[in-house]
Amino acid sequence: MNPRPIVAVVGKPNVGKSSLFNRLVGRPLAIVHDQPGVTRDRHYADVWAVGRSYVLIDTGGFDLDNDDPMGARIRQQVALAVDEADVVVCVFDAQTGMTDADREAVAMLRRSGKPVFYAANKADTKGGEAEALDLYRLGISKVFPISALHGRGMGDLEAAIVDALPPAEQEESPPPDEDSEEDSEKIERPARPPRVALIGRPNAGKSSLLNRIAGKERVLVDDRPGTTRDPIDITVEKNGRSMVLVDTAGIRRKGKVTKEADVLEGASVFHAIRAMERCEIAVLLCDGAAGIAEQDAKILGLAVDRGRAIVIAVNKTDLLDTRARKNLEEQARDKLSFVPWAPVVPISAKTGRGVGNLLTTIQSVHAAFRSRIGTGQLNRFFEQVLATHPPPTMGNRAPRLFFVTQAETAPPHFIVMTNEPEHIHFSYQRYLTNQLRKAFGFEGVPLRVTYKKRRRRGEDEAPPGVQGKKRRAEADRRARRPAKR
């Protein structure tokens, strides 16, 4: 089957491209804000509509009058999206009428030779649809008055897009619902590549690292913090294995966020955290030139709280000498001491130094994150631990550990059956977790160990409080029985 067709959404800044993108995708993936220029990079998403599937691209607003270097690079990203697209949707603002920039955009799209549909957005009322008629003066044969916010006119536009797609070689079926347990039992899905979120403070080099791994300028890079806003996903293949890298917006301290940027930056941080939750591995990128900061620890804590596997990458080591690099790694261990199990990898996204080692570490951590240890192997390990270091007595109670089993993966979750779960000292719990990590190579992986009380037969018929009452009542009845002569 041919690769899925691609549809690009283009237009001037602040005409509602991201709103249309979210409407077609059916989910709020792209950040929507009144400020022009929010979207900068190409943002891809899968769409299923009118019996066909395709890939949709959201692009930054191209402003031909903007001579700023960032504006020029956004225009380059838009041109790349148009070149790879099979169909283009050009969005206008129905409320502002026709402009010189609209004329130039139409001329550029006509030169591309691609099927182009022109949508007049913000036509929320009948009056708005009438205002959109002014765009016919551009020589356009068909204008679709729509409201991406309210969904007006979307049916006609979606049908036109699907009709213009290249024909499919075979009948397509809708993708299974990821949240449906019924579908997951009936459909055998191929193993998905691991998702890796690049997280950290602004200007730590996340976008530079993504471009280095991708081997091309997939996302915009700029010295000014806050260049990345929407999470950007790309699939790369390294060492014969695929992975999805997710570039996220930098997360600053609240004290450094101005009131003017508060709403937009809050949306960027929200999307960055959501991207982290959708991933299996979080790579914290630290700025080696600036040193490890308290904010790095806070960002890493967000990933640990969500049970993600962790890799710490210290970037910009090309700016440091050998001694400074060694001191920086020690500083990272000290400032991020709450994750002593996370590997620290020094890299330089600019020169590529250490990037290969980082990719190897990510693949190793992902294998450990999804590994399952057999119950027999676990309990042979368990017997050795108990023989060497049994649990200490606590509160005049002697806990006994009977056996251990693994309940879940990603992250690994172990269940230890015991007679006194509340009397196992936290230091012994930490010791047992460290021994599990050491024995089975869980580097970079958060381990969850739950201690459960092993009940006798029949004890599960009533809650513990009721069980105690029943036992006391039975003892009282026996005491009142007359002695047998």
Task: State how far the Cα of 89 lies from the Cα of 54, in Å rounded to an integer.
Answer: 14
- Looking at 219-223, 325-329, 340-344, 361-365, which range is the least confident one? 219-223
Task: State how far the Cα of 115 lies from the Cα of 298, in Å rounded to an integer.
Answer: 48
The ranges of the chain annotated as CATH 3.30.300.20 are 375-460
Overall average pLDDT of the 89-101 stretch: 85
Question: Tokens 């955290």 identify what position?
Answer: 273
Q: What is the pLDDT of residues 396-430, one digit of tens each?
A: 888 899 999 999 999 999 999 999 899 899 999 99
Identify the pLDDT of residue 60: 83
- 3-state DSSP: the chain helix, strand, coil percent, rounded to 5? 40, 20, 40
Task: State how far the Cα of 205 lies from the Cα of 219, in Å rounded to an integer.
Answer: 12
Beta-sheet strands, E only, within 165-260: 195-200, 232-238, 241-247
Q: What is the pLDDT of residues 156-182, one digit of tens each?
A: 999 999 999 998 766 566 665 544 433
Reply yes or no on whether the pLDDT at 264 is more than 90: no
Q: How confident is the model at residue 452 (pLDDT cuts 50, 70, 90)?
A: very high
The ranges of the chain annotated as CATH 3.40.50.300 are 6-177, 195-369
Task: State how far the Cα of 235 lies from the Cα of 117, in Å rounded to an integer.
Answer: 29
Q: Which token pair is 393?
A: 């007595």
Identify the pLDDT of residue 181: 39
Task: State how far the Cα of 262 lies from the Cα of 344, in Å rounded to an integer.
Answer: 32
Q: Which residue has the higher pLDDT, 352 or 103?
A: 352
Using omega within 30 degrees of 0 as the cis cutoff, is the peptide bond preceding 202 cis? no
Question: Tokens 């172990």 identify what position?
Answer: 414
The CATH fold of domain 195-369: Rossmann fold (3.40.50)
Q: Element (H or E) spanning 101, and its range?
A: helix 100-112
Question: What single letter denotes the amino acid at residue 140?
Answer: I
Q: Which residue has the higher pLDDT, 351 or 41?
A: 351
| The CATH classification of domain 6-177, taken from the options 3.90.180.10, 3.40.50.300, 3.40.50.720, 3.90.1150.10 | 3.40.50.300
Question: Tokens 């009709």 identify what position?
Answer: 163
Q: What do you get for the CA distance between the two ends of the chain, in Å?
A: 90
Question: Which residues lie closer than 8 Å to 62 by C-beta, 6 or more apart?
Answer: 10, 11, 12, 71, 74, 75, 78, 105
Using alpha carbons, select from 5, 116, 132 the residue that is nearest to residue 56: 5
Residues 220, 226, 230: CA angle, nearest 5 degrees = 65
Identify the pLDDT of residue 183: 38
CATH architecture for the domain at 375-460: 2-Layer Sandwich (3.30)
Using alpha carbons, select from 283, 285, 217 the residue that is nearest to residue 40: 217
Q: Which residue has the higher pLDDT, 143 or 29?
A: 143
Burial class of residue 62 in the structure, from the number of CB atoms within 10 Å of its CB (0-12 exposed, 13-18 middle, 19+ buried): buried
